[in-house]
Chains A and B, each alone.
Chain A
Amino acid sequence: MIHIFANYGGTLLYGLGQTLLCSLLALIFSLILGTLFALLEESPSKFARGVARVYIEIFRNIPLLVITMFFYVVFPLYVIKMNGFTAGTIGLTLYTSAFIAETVRAGIQSVDPGQMEGARANGLSFWQAMRFIILPQAFRYVIPPLGNQFVNLVKNSSTLAFVGGFDLMYQGNVIASSSLETIAAYSAVGVLYLVITMPISYYMRYLEKRLA
């Protein structure tokens, strides 16, 4: 395995960079989208709740790979051309945002309803109360599950390998087929994934324990 790092270090590092970049982009966008849909689901408007429900159920119940392939295969034919990295990141964002929406909603619901009532009684509008009173408290509960979502995101970013996204998994395949040392190549890739995911999931477990 060590000679894989020695011979293909640059390729692996490039793949690691792509994986991290894709995961971070998808995390940022899916946090925004996910929070938005969580708020819609908690909003007083029945229509908004319906829209959010449909969005969440669709993207939670369709495999990530199908979503990604849709953007990679169908989009370029009828809308605009995009490379594998873009298609993969969009797919990952939409897929993860549905899970983040559920996580954030659970966080909002775990805040004592008296907080909202108190805020409304003090003259804040629903959205002001959400923004200044509920969300700041909800996010504290939500951090450990969000961290676990990020771990999933990093793992799921390996679907980029299907669409030529030049991520870590993709480079691992390239190395495996050019060096013919499949086990060593995949082990090297595995170690690099673990370097990202293990510390986060251990830290989240620690946070979970501390919050409980």
Chain B
Amino acid sequence: MLQNFIDAYSPDNLRYLFGGLGITILVSVVSIIGSFIIGSILGIIRYVKIKYFSAIVGFIIDVIRNLPLILILFFTYFGLPNLGVKPEIIPAAILAMTIFESTMLAEIVRSGIQAVDSGQMEGARANGLSYWQGLWYIVLPQAMVKMIPAIVSQFISLVKDTSLATIILLPEMLYRSQIIYGQNTNYIIPMFVAIALMYFVVCYCLSVLARYLEKRQA
């Protein structure tokens, strides 16, 4: 058994696995940045209540939030070619993650804005700022600070969710571990231990960070 572990963790295999971790992090980081931008816009639209428009955007956000991410992955990777667009695997994964996560972040942004004391906006208006100026210079900066822990938590679930993209053959950790243990079934347990550990270390560090940020704010 021990020998299996030693053989399975050969330098080549480890390098291959860590390469998968790199893809996981690449996809997660690009998606979180993209979804932060889109999510902020969507969240603000939902918050400011523009007639009809906000309600429609809100409904679309709710629809996407309530769908499984796997379904959205399938849509982007297998559905888009039917419409004449054939995305590569990594862009398809990033696209699906961004669509899904930006709706999650939209809700975080909206509740972050709502958590800012309404007196802030009133004060800004009383001092002669327009509604949008008050939102941009006074309310949003305070809301952003409040949102950070929730965004970090969302990032943790994003990192974990990248594993779902094995289904469209994204070459991340889980997928690569399957390739390794597909060659030698003795490597199954060592591979599961390795990827579970890698995910755990990344996500646990992030959750410690989220908790620390939350405490510092309280």
Shortest distance from the beta carbon of B119 to any chain A beta carbon, whole Å: 19
Taking a contact as CB atoms under 8 Å apart, the answer to whether B164 and A73 are in contact is: no
Given A65-B163, A155-B67, A158-B70 in contact, is the A74-B188 Cβ separation under 8 Å? yes
Given A61-B204, A159-B164, A186-B79 in contact, is the A66-B196 Cβ separation under 8 Å? yes
Taking a contact as CB atoms under 8 Å apart, the answer to whether B200 and A201 are in contact is: no
Secondary structure class of chain B's binding surface, majority of residues: helix
Q: Mark A104-136, 1 if CB is under 8 A from B, else 0.
A: 000000000000000000000000000000000
Secondary structure class of chain A's binding surface, majority of residues: helix
Complex alpha-carbon distance, A181 and B74, angstroms: 12
Asked if B125 is at the interface of the complex by the 8 Å CB criterion, the answer is no
Taking a contact as CB atoms under 8 Å apart, the answer to whether A74 and B74 are in contact is: no
Taking a contact as CB atoms under 8 Å apart, the answer to whether B156 and A162 are in contact is: no
Give the one of B65, B189, B200 with max A CB within 10 A: B200
Taking a contact as CB atoms under 8 Å apart, the answer to whether A63 and B161 are in contact is: yes
Asked if B192 is at the interface of the complex by the 8 Å CB criterion, the answer is yes
Asked if B69 is at the interface of the complex by the 8 Å CB criterion, the answer is yes
Taking a contact as CB atoms under 8 Å apart, the answer to whether B82 and A161 are in contact is: no
Taking a contact as CB atoms under 8 Å apart, the answer to whether A61 and B71 are in contact is: no
Shortest distance from the beta carbon of B85 to any chain A beta carbon, whole Å: 12
Shortest distance from the beta carbon of B35 to any chain A beta carbon, whole Å: 17
Q: Which of A61-95 contact B (CB under 8 A)?
A: 61-66, 69-70, 73-74, 77
Taking a contact as CB atoms under 8 Å apart, the answer to whether B79 and A74 are in contact is: no
Number of contact residues on B: which range applies? 35 or more
Shortest distance from the beta carbon of B64 to any chain A beta carbon, whole Å: 10
Taking a contact as CB atoms under 8 Å apart, the answer to whether A66 and B62 are in contact is: no
Shortest distance from the beta carbon of B213 to any chain A beta carbon, whole Å: 17
Shortest distance from the beta carbon of B206 to any chain A beta carbon, whole Å: 9
Taking a contact as CB atoms under 8 Å apart, the answer to whether B174 and A62 are in contact is: no
Taking a contact as CB atoms under 8 Å apart, the answer to whether B160 and A64 are in contact is: yes
The 4 closest A-B pairs by CB, nearest first: A61-B203, A158-B68, A197-B66, A63-B160
Q: List 12 A-B contacts (CB under 8 A).
A: A62-B199, A65-B163, A155-B68, A156-B68, A158-B69, A161-B70, A173-B74, A176-B74, A182-B82, A183-B82, A194-B67, A202-B62
Which residues of A approach B to under 8 Å, CB–CB? 57-58, 60-66, 69-70, 73-74, 77, 151, 155-159, 161-162, 169, 172-173, 176, 181-183, 186, 189-190, 193-194, 197-198, 201-202
